């Protein structure tokens, strides 16, 4: 079963100028096949868009977890992942 994870950035208004979301996701030790960032800021997916993207990429189990950007520009996850599908 392919697993997908949506990381929702709760404080996306304070992102560093040169923030690279794909690079930040790659530094996380996540047990999933595909991960994507979502946020309320322009240029990011919202949660329904990210969920649809996961479905179209064949994810059979999709979860969402909250995250925030640390002072050094890395993603810190907090809370428990919420299963959205599967």
Determine the Cα–Cα distance for residues 5 and 33; give it in Å rounded to an integer.
8
pLDDT at 77: 92
Query: What is the residue range of 79's domain?
Result: 3-85
Which has more confidence, 52 or 29? Answer: 52
Q: How far is CA 27 from the centre of its chain?
A: 12
Which has more confidence, 2 or 31? Answer: 2
Number of structural domains, the chain?
Answer: 1
The residue among 50, 65, 69, 58 whose CA lies nearest residue 33 is: 58
pLDDT at 28: 86
Determine the Cα–Cα distance for residues 70 and 2; give it in Å rounded to an integer.
29
Model pTM greater than 0.75? yes
Do the beta carbons of residue 61 and residue 43 sit within 8 Å?
no
Query: Which two three-digit tokens encode residue 43?
Result: 């240029």
- Taking only the tens place, the pLDDT of each residue in 30-83 is 889 999 999 888 778 999 999 999 999 999 999 999 998 887 778 999 888 999
């Amino acid at each position: 079963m392919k697993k997908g994870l949506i990381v929702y950035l709760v404080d996306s208004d304070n992102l560093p100028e040169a923030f690279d979301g794909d690079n930040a996701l790659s530094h996380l030790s996540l047990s999933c096949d595909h991960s994507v960032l979502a946020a309320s800021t322009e240029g990011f997916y919202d949660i329904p868009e990210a969920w649809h993207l996961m479905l179209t990429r064949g994810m059979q189990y999709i979860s969402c977890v909250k995250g925030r950007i640390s002072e050094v520009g890395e993603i810190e996850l907090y809370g428990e992942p919420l299963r959205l599908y599967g």
